[in-house]
Structure 1
């Protein structure tokens, strides 16, 4: 394995702690990457507005990959590349979520829509992305504008079953995958965190083998499969850890900073 030229990190469960804090050690770790001439950026299931609270203080100058990498935006949040979920896939997804009693949301490029404001995870998401949703009665007018659909539920086993069921129904028309135990995401077809890593490699003129990726959930597996050095957090699911080349500490134990130290040591070995 050659030297690492770029690090691409997930946000929730990876870069930040469980209470969504960016620790001093994590800030210092990103500064170390800059000093070593290694690029750094983020990809996340979050909408663009939910990434800027971390990209700005970290001084990120490279494009970001919101919506599980299905969009690419500049640090200013100007859209570089955007893809939408096909209307039929939106309708299929919302119907399945309704059938199972799962709270459904729609994210467009610049807004978040809900149908009820008492959903268990609405307050949680508001705190996480520091953005308030718009409550509407009918999602139908948004069917051709959806960047991401989220099914939110405290029944983790149900979401896991629905992930498989919905992906089977969608086929290759959209991607259904969990970004958290409590979130089932639906995003545009043919785009994921792996395609974002590949896009960054092309933009920077480097091979994917020169990219390290950090993550903790199923939606991070796509970037693990195409990167040279996939690193799983200590809090990651077992299937994520199995695909990683290295497992660091948990996100609440400064695992991100420890992973950056591991990458720098790897480069020092030549």
Structure 2
């Protein structure tokens, strides 16, 4: 038996953030044979994943970049949240930076009221300074961010920490590159959290105990599957930890070079149904 871990954004999802129908069909075909396990391994929240792939597809899910691992029945197997004192410090710092960010918890994604307006203001500044910039692409990025399932807007994000809920990750989204670099530098070499990214203009803060690779190792051990019998398919920086340990590594055609260098195989792009091509043709599963 093999364990196949598939990323979402830039991988199973097209550029429009919609799942590849061919990719989903290939996954269902593999599951019908009962010879292999398939898991989604993503930076998204579990409830967001279920909203995207459908409630009827019963598979284990590694979510929030590995901060939570659920089995195919939805039972929580493992979680590595940010320690609450560190989360509180991090949230206070981000509020001081006047940047848009989200808080991922087990049941909700918390977003600040007025967050969309903050991002629109950044777009307006960019367009004013660079008239040739593609404003539609920037707008599409904002719309995708606010289409996540489980969104809950609140006035004060510090209330999330006060409520005591586990905090899986903090996601920063900004078109201000200087601000993003400053935040990345602030969290560099901290003992309890580290950063990763799945897309341009974003930065994710997670526990140092959290990454996709560690979560994949946990799930493989849970199902008594050797790491040599794991297959990963991905495209971005937050997939690197998986590619460093899996037996077979498939890079999307649109993957960043760092992922391609670690790959065993390269498939077609996400817009060309690369997951289906990898599963059906390259791997012949």
Interval of TM-score (by shorter of Structure 1 and Structure 2): 0.7 to 0.9
Residue 82, structure 1, aligned to residue 101, structure 2: no
Aligned to 1:244: 263
Deviation at 1:74, TM superposition (A): 3.4
Structure 1, unaligned runs of 5 or more: none
1:177 and 1:126 map into 2 onto residues whose CA distance is 20
Change (3 A) 1:232 1:28: same
Residue 133, structure 1, aligned to residue 152, structure 2: yes
Deviation at 1:92, TM superposition (A): 4.0
Aligned to 1:159: 180
1:71 and 1:50 map into 2 onto residues whose CA distance is 13
1:189 and 1:151 map into 2 onto residues whose CA distance is 17
2:168 to 116, 129, 147: 147
Give the root-mean-square deviation of aligned CA atoms: 2.4
Change (3 A) 1:218 1:238: same
2:68 to 71, 75, 78: 71
1:227 and 1:209 map into 2 onto residues whose CA distance is 6
2:179 and 2:255 map into 1 onto residues whose CA distance is 19
Aligned to 1:225: 244
1:200 and 1:32 map into 2 onto residues whose CA distance is 21
Deviation at 1:219, TM superposition (A): 0.8
TM-score, structure 2 normalization: 0.81
Change (3 A) 1:138 1:264: closer
Q: What is the aligned residue count?
A: 259
Deviation at 1:200, TM superposition (A): 1.7
1:164 and 1:217 map into 2 onto residues whose CA distance is 20
Please identify, of 211-220 and 143-152, the stretch whose mean Cα deviation from structure 2 is larger.
143-152
Written as runs of structure 1 = structure 2, the 5 A alignment for 1:84-103 is 84-103=81-100
Q: Deviations over 1:229-257 (max 9, x none)?
A: 11111111111111111121111111111
Deviation at 1:91, TM superposition (A): 3.5
Q: Deviations over 1:60-110 (max 9, x none)?
A: 33x211111111123454423223211332244334434544212212111
Does the CA-based 8 Å contact 1:17-1:251 persist in structure 2? yes
Does the CA-based 8 Å contact 2:111-2:157 persist in structure 1? no
2:179 and 2:251 map into 1 onto residues whose CA distance is 25
Deviation at 1:125, TM superposition (A): 2.4
1:117 and 1:220 map into 2 onto residues whose CA distance is 31
Aligned to 2:42: 44
Deviation at 1:193, TM superposition (A): 0.7
Structure 2, unaligned runs of 5 or more: 120-140
Deviation at 1:161, TM superposition (A): 5.9
Change (3 A) 1:55 1:123: closer
3-state SS of paired residue (2:171):
strand
Q: Deviations over 1:6-37 (max 9, x none)?
A: 21011111111111222321122113322452
TM-score, structure 1 normalization: 0.85
1:33 and 1:242 map into 2 onto residues whose CA distance is 27
1:58 and 1:28 map into 2 onto residues whose CA distance is 13
3-state SS of paired residue (1:212):
strand
Please identify, of 196-205 and 26-35, the stretch whose mean Cα deviation from structure 2 is larger.
26-35
